[in-house]
Amino acid sequence: MNGRPISEAPEQSLYGQPQVSFRPNDFNSVIWAHGYDIICEKAIRCPCQGNSGSPLPDCQNCHGFGYFFVNPRRTKALVTGLNRNTQYVQWAPELMGTAAITVRDEDKDFLSYFDRVTVEDEYASFTEMLVAREMIGDEVAVFLSYAPIEDGIVAVYTFKDSESPLIKLDPSVYEIVPENPYCLRFAPGNVPPETGVSVLYKHMVEYHIIDMPHEIRASLGKDKKSGQFQILKMPIQGVGRRTHLIDMQRPNYDGSGIIYNDDNDSDTR
């Protein structure tokens, strides 16, 4: 520690004390056998903030969020909702959309604060009201909080007036832009700019890690051959929260926010 002298605490005698040793491989086997397929992406603070400490709204790396995400890794995790068991604990709104996410110790580098975790095995339904924006030419579009799965747009409604039924748009007049999976584009003449649009769609469940209650988790165990104590690395657990409950910015229609900075990707788009 920078050459500073460090005093040592006296050892605790364990003579005659019963020892309980965990078996990490059993935990890891449970995660691999019963866990969900997930993709973890590392969160890195975007340097666009400079001395101001505030991200640039037009930054195409973090799309104004302040973090960009790199090096996706597919692995498995146990995912348990924190508000699921409310028999003895009062339901708490601050736990809404949160889940405990447990991975093997070897995946520790891919589960830390603000990292993004996407569950591939399951999808969720989500609805939001968005304001249509005029794009290049006559195109009008809205930007969704999540990327819909294939054929995931269930319904799109627009408002006429207070005394008329809502207008349900025919699927032929809208599409997800291939270059930007967050962008829902409308055919010209169907949705005026600055019009409210309600969208119901399906998407893969996505979290951001907001807490690490078990960031350090290890135990002592005996080596079978030498009998010496050794450190046993245990599974790591983080608390994730759904993306739409965090102040996120959506990628723009022109491609902002979808530049890739992965280590193994020479092409940035």
Q: Has this prediction a pTM greater than 0.75?
A: no
In a domain? residue 4: no
Contacts of 241 (CB under 8 A, 6+ apart): 97, 98, 99, 207, 208, 210
Residue 43 in domain: yes
177 in a domain, yes or no?
A: yes
Residue 235 is part of which domain span?
A: 24-245
For residue 197, the model assigns a pLDDT of 95
DSSP state of 188: T
pLDDT, tens only, 193-216? 999 999 999 999 999 998 888 766
What does the pLDDT read at residue 22? 63
In a domain, 101, yes or no: yes
Is residue 120 a part of any domain in this protein? yes
pLDDT at 18: 66
- The answer to the question of residue 260 being in a domain is no
Q: What value does the mean pLDDT take over residues 120-126?
A: 89
For residue 265, tell me if it sits in a domain. no
What is the distance between the alpha carbons of residues 26 and 144, in angstroms, rounded to a whole number?
41
**pLDDT at residue 91 in the model:** 45
**Of 171 and 134, which is predicted with more confidence?**
171
Report how far Cα 200 is from the mean position of its chain's Cα atoms: 20
DSSP reduced 3-state for 33: helix
Q: Residue 8 falls within a domain, yes or no? A: no
Whether the pLDDT of residue 166 is over 90: the answer is yes
Bridge partners of 43, per DSSP, are 69
Q: Write out the two tokens for 141.
A: 């579009």
Domains held by the chain: number: 1
Confidence bin at 128 (pLDDT 50/70/90)? very high
Strand order across the 140-143 sheet: 133-134, 140-143, 183-186, 174-176
